[in-house]
Amino acid sequence: MADEVTKALSDEEKAAAKNPEPEAAAEAIAPEAASASTGDVEAVSETESPAPRHGGRRGRLAEQYATRNLTEGSISRNLLFLSWPQMAEGALYVFYQMVDLFWAGQGFGLDALAGVGAVWTYTTLGLTARGGLDTAMRAMVSRAVGAGDMALANRVVLQAFALNTFISIFFVVIPGVIFADQLLMIIGLPEEVRNEVSLYMRFQLINQSLVAWRTMSGQALASAGDSLTPLRATVITRAVHMTMSPTLAFGLLFFPELGLMGLAVAGIIGQIVGSILNWNALFSGRSRLHLTLKGFYLDWDVMRRLVRIGVPASVTSMERALSQFVMVGVVASFGVTALGVYTLAQRTDLLANRVITGLANASGVLVGQNLGAGQPERARKTVLVAMVWSFFSQLVFAALLAAFPIAYMAIFNDDADLHALGETWFRILALGYVTMGLSTVMMHCFNTAGDTIVPALVNIVTIWVVQLPLALFLRDFLDFDSTSVAWAIVAAMLFRLLIYLPYFLSGRWMRARVL
């Protein structure tokens, strides 16, 4: 493995010097997909979108993200070029949740802190239910861009948007708003906690539909090579949310006091602004993609491909969300303090995971574009470089968390019992974060290459055969306290890595047919 990494890091510098031209499109792209793409979206070239126009220093940077060919040159430079905006965007996503946790814990108490975490278990489940379609869209768009078929890439984005909108509204928002109280009862939340967060949950589910629109539009831009525009949209979204959260929650200035619900309403306002910025870039032609609704129709063939690739990817994400759902019930049996620790632990896990997911998504886009350009060896080396970066970044994160767990928890709540239990929790979880980074990179690269079945199966086995049974065994037979859940999570992370690594080395994940 070390030899593989060393070879990848040296070979890509040679590639940068030679600056080779990309090869022909991969044989994995079906001929009928390429031919079917012509004439679908009017006012868009059959092979390339109109060149984006920008002015000034910021404009020149934006033009680089809109036009740079990521299938040639230095792998490390291309990975850094594409990944840093997505990593920053991932950190900002978690920051938005941390803001809610801060105001809930400091302004409304431990019950509110625990309840907000329980609500996010459901909102995460809703997001992951349709998140596989984002993965499918990313796989298809990156392959199409790598093959030079921009008309097909544009069409895939529009079809994915239509499908995502339908799923978000009819399978997440409407059922969640109607049955919010019953859903909170299912996971065993005490009545006082349910009363605290019931209204917050309803507005948070509405917010998640807007998160889906902003996320999907940002993923479309990043798949074509523009990861800067989604970052700008996310920065503005978070700024609006951070400003409006205390204003609406506590009734500052001339605004009404909405309580916890105000945190969710602030999120809704921010997501609307961010979505508009991303979609404006897509429809105005300021990226390699240039969408238009003129002549739009539902393309059932593209939708079938999105579903075929996306459903296993959704299963992969939903399995983790479902495990959190079940784990909330296990942790709740130990009381509100344990539930508060678990809430903070999950947000910390999300922080570690979302930042690395930005790197993983970027490496996945490079993998997809290089496979589309017929360069599988370059795709494989991209994954190796990303794995090295993820290992060292997660090592630093884990060391800081293990060294300063109490100082970290004090940001959100000053409860002494919370700190005492959480100190042990976070030091246990720190052991698993390094392996989590490596697995995350491989999983996203498999998914974006179009191989979504294997990650789905691995997640099912990891969660339902390793993580949940181990947590229950430690609790019921060895009389562990709530740290039984922490140990089970770490064991699952290690098991996932041991399965992914040999599969990556086999190279079978690069043979999936996407288009």
**Residues 6 or more apart whose Cβ sits within 8 Å of residue 17:** none
Cα-based torsion angle of the residue sequence 34, 150, 368, 62 in order, rounded to the nearest 10 degrees: 170
Q: What pLDDT does 119 receive?
A: 86
Q: What pLDDT does 515 receive?
A: 61
Rounded (10°) angle between helices 416-448 and 110-146: 10
Residue 4 lies in a domain: no
Q: What pLDDT does 361 receive?
A: 86
Residue 451 lies in a domain: yes
Its sign, for the CA torsion 7, 12, 13, 14, is positive
For residue 402, how many other CB atoms are within 10 A of its CB? 16
Q: How many CA atoms lie within 13 A of 62 on its CB side?
A: 18
Residue 26 lies in a domain: no
Q: Which one-letter amino acid corresponds to residue 372?
A: G
Q: What pLDDT does 58 receive?
A: 53
Q: What is the 3-state secondary structure (H, E, C) of 118-154?
A: HHHHHHHHHHHHHHHHHHHHHHHHHHHHHCCCHHHHH
Residue 413 corresponds to which tokens in the numbers above?
């709540």
**Residues 6 or more apart whose Cβ sits within 8 Å of residue 163:** 133, 303, 306, 307
The domain of 95 spans 50-511
> Using CA atoms, how far apart are residues 163 and 487, in angstroms rounded to an integer?
38
Q: What pLDDT does 17 receive?
A: 44
Its sign, for the CA torsion 505, 317, 103, 424, is negative
Residue 16 lies in a domain: no
Helix, strand, coil % in the chain, rounded to nearest 5: 80, 0, 20
Its sign, for the CA torsion 135, 136, 141, 147, is positive
Residue 195 corresponds to which tokens in the numbers above?
């009363």
Answer yes or no: are the C-beta atoms of 9 and 122 closer than 8 Å: no
Q: What pLDDT does 470 receive?
A: 94
Residue 479 corresponds to which tokens in the numbers above?
């009389």
Provide the H-helix boundaries in 224-259. Answer: 228-250
Residue 159 lies in a domain: yes
Mean pLDDT, 10 residues at a time, over the chain (515 residues)? 48 45 37 37 39 54 68 88 84 76 84 82 77 88 89 94 90 88 83 86 90 90 88 92 93 91 93 94 89 92 92 77 77 85 85 83 89 90 93 92 91 88 92 89 90 88 91 88 90 94 92 75
Answer yes or no: are the C-beta atoms of 134 and 127 closer than 8 Å: no
Place of tokens 């030079």: 148
Specify the number of domains making up the chain. 1
Residue 60 lies in a domain: yes
For residue 235, how many other CB atoms are within 10 A of its CB? 16
> Using CA atoms, how far apart are residues 350 and 386, in angstroms rounded to an integer?
19
